[in-house]
Amino acid sequence: MDQEPHNGAVNPLPPVVAALFLVIMGIEIAFFLGARGIVGGPAAVGWRLSAIQSYAFSGEIFDWMRDSGVWPVEHLIRFVSYSFVHTSFTHALFVGVFVLAMGKMVAEVFGGLAMLAVFLVSAAGGALIYALLLDDPMPLVGGFPAVYGLIGAFTFILWRRLGMVGANQSRAFSLIAMLMGIQLVFGLVFGGSADWVADLGGFATGFALSFFVSPGGLARLRGKIRHE
């Protein structure tokens, strides 16, 4: 029997998006409750700091690995793990909201696994660009570079759709331009870190990766290569 079409006002959330949101917020809730002594006992007060020390991305550690040629797994994992450790509940909540919004739109077009790949690879790409371009001793934490990767994938979707109807494809980049403009204003007014470099790196990674993981992406690339 054919399934009836979904007639609800809101399309159901893709399971991988919901799972990613729950992981991010589940970790943060554990930190939140532990800091208040509700779970974990006295040692739980230091869970967040311990997690930052163990899982944040460090440009200094990256420089050491590159110079020594030694790449321990415990440090390589930092390219992705930093995205799941946040400085505060509000920090994690903002990331979670963006994951729900951007993740849903990307997963509905690319599929759940491709959306997850964009999130994780963009986290690594943002961290790599952060380490290569800057000499910042501050550790990189939080999921915004990965979220900006999802924004990059969403921009790719708009870019392709505008191209299909012959519209101005530069309009697809209005969202990232607005977000980076807001970051610039906040940085000038309140001061800030250089995390925006990782965010922009995540966006670029997500946009570029979309050429491969979008539906028919590899076929289009092979076709272009054959015709060159």
Task: Please state, in angstroms and rounded to a whole number, the distance separating the CA atoms of residues 213 and 218.
Answer: 7
> What is the reported pTM?
0.89
Choices 3.20.20, 2.60.40, 1.20.1540, 1.10.3210: CATH for 15-216: 1.20.1540
- Compute the CA torsion angle 64, 78, 107, 163 (nearest 10 deg): -20
Q: With contact defined as beta carbons under 8 Å apart, do 107 and 17 qualify?
A: yes
9-62 pLDDT per residue, tens: 567 899 999 999 999 999 999 999 999 888 888 888 899 999 999 999 999 999
Using CA of residue 211, residue 216, residue 219, residue 223, what is the dihedral sign?
Answer: negative
Spell out the domain ranges in the chain: 15-216
Q: Which of 162, 156, 147, 1 is nearest to 83 (CA)?
A: 147
pLDDT tens digits, 182-205: 888 877 776 677 899 999 999 999
